[in-house]
Amino acid sequence: MPSTLPDGDPVPADGALPGSALTGLGDRPFAFYVHVPFCVTRCGYCDFNTYTATELGPGASRDTYADTAISEVRMARRVLGDADLPVDTVFVGGGTPTLLPPDDLGRVLAAIDTEFGLAEGAEVTTEANPESVDESYVAKLREAGFTRISYGMQSAREHVLAVLERTHTPGRVPQVVDWTRKAGFEHINLDLIYGTPGESDDDWRASLEAALACEPDHVSAYALIVEEGTRLAAQVRRGELTAPDDDAMADRYLIADEMLGAHGLRWYEISNWAADPSAACRHNMLYWTGADWWGVGPGAHSHVGGTRWWNVKHPAAYASRLAEGTTPAHAREILTGEDRHIERIMLELRLSQGCPTDLLDDKPVRRAMDEGLLEPTPYDEGRAVLTLKGRLLADALIRDLT
């Protein structure tokens, strides 16, 4: 959830969507994202729309946040009308969602179920920091209907965590994973970051080994991005820290793919590995395959039928709009057919299943195969699928193919 908001077209006060967005509503999978914008401290690398207690100011509160979010869920029902929209997935992200009491997260989930109904077997995920939960907390989440937890592990090396300004100790992660498994969660993800200044290849291997020792069924591994405006960017600019090196990043990715694969986790998206298809994050798969979703919370983005909108950024402004009965949406855009075509290529090509070759011009596809960036056999079956080399160069290749 980036902290900056793009410009766009005005949104009606009642949040009404254009007719084009409502066409086919219910034929596509539908999901909810719920943004919880609170953190105890702000990590130096983070550019997400989050707020510590001292940054909130008047008009916003953790204590009332669940009720405010529920107001937007009810507004979503009014805007989307009577269409049958069982919710396939719910993802609660942040920030640190688990700074809210588990009962509050459960009430938001219950409101989504009341207004729309959860589909049978719905996936319900929350992000969590290892230090923000205990055994009782995760048990209550499971009782509330959550089925999956994603922990921000980031690293198993204390000096790397210190650079990232993460507050948990490496030993905390195995403990919370054990509690989570005992609570009955079948799906557990560990988030890792590679390329932190001061991290070595051996540090990265140690982090992967520590994550795998917890036996999660899903691991996400992301290259560190130095975002402008963060404390990390300022430290790099002043020469206090060294900027991540592209070659080192590529090496770390190869290490991750090898170690995770040897442990039975297979890539299904460039930065994500799962033990089997049932362990893949279904919510993110809906993003990557063009489904509809409603984003609840300050700065949250939504997409329904080719119309995309994003909410006002500050929690106080968000709460004020909902209290007045008006949409919290800041602006929106209606995607053209060409926009949607390009986005489909950009997103689906990142998946292990690839994208249909009939979306692409044949000449650049054949050139990519000649360069070892696309697999030849899936091409014969009508799919463009990245090789390992192609994954390393995915951004440049996607630009070439679109």
For residue range 201-220, what is the model confidence (pLDDT) as tens digits? 999 999 999 999 999 999 99
pLDDT (tens digit per residue) in 224-244: 999 999 999 999 999 999 999
Stretch 34-61: mean pLDDT, rounded?
A: 88
Stretch 252-271: mean pLDDT, rounded?
A: 98
pLDDT beyond 50 at 365: yes
Among candidates 137, 175, 138, 135, which has minimal Cα distance to 153?
A: 175
pLDDT (tens digit per residue) in 271-304: 999 999 999 999 999 999 999 999 999 999 999 9
pLDDT beyond 60 at 351: yes
Q: What pLDDT, on a 0 to 100 scale, did the predictor assign at position 16?
A: 98
DSSP 23: T
Stretch 355-359: mean pLDDT, rounded?
A: 96
Bond into 8 cis (ω within 30) = no
Give the pair of three-digit tokens for residue 238: 């002043």
CA dihedral for 152, 310, 119, 353, sign (positive or negative)? negative
| C-beta separation of 350 from 393 below 8 A | no
User: With bands split at pLDDT 50, 70 and 90, how would you rate the model's confidence at 53?
Assistant: confident
Q: What pLDDT, on a 0 to 100 scale, did the predictor assign at position 60?
A: 87
What's the CA dihedral at 297, 298, 300, 302 to 10 degrees? Answer: 70
Q: Which residue has the tokens 């204390």?
A: 158
pLDDT (tens digit per residue) in 6-20: 789 999 999 999 999
Q: What is the mean pLDDT of the chain?
A: 95
The DSSP bridge pattern shows strands 118-128 and 87-94 to be: parallel
Q: Where are the domains of the chain?
A: 15-334, 337-401
Alpha-carbon distances, residue 287 vs 82, 87, 127 (angstroms): 23, 14, 17
pLDDT (tens digit per residue) in 182-199: 999 999 999 999 999 999
| CA distance linking residue 112 with residue 106, whole number of Å | 10
Give the pair of three-digit tokens for residue 49: 């729309």
What are 128's strand-pairing partners? 151
Give the pair of three-digit tokens for residue 156: 């198993």
User: With bands split at pLDDT 50, 70 and 90, how would you rate the model's confidence at 4?
Assistant: low
Q: What pLDDT, on a 0 to 100 scale, did the predictor assign at position 177?
A: 98
| C-beta separation of 151 from 130 below 8 A | yes
pLDDT (tens digit per residue) in 97-132: 999 999 999 999 999 999 999 999 999 999 999 999
Count of CB atoms situated within 10 Å of the CB of 271:
17
Q: What pLDDT, on a 0 to 100 scale, did the predictor assign at position 1?
A: 46
CATH code given to domain 15-334: 3.80.30.20
Coil, strand or helix: which one is 32?
strand
pTM above 0.85, yes or no: yes
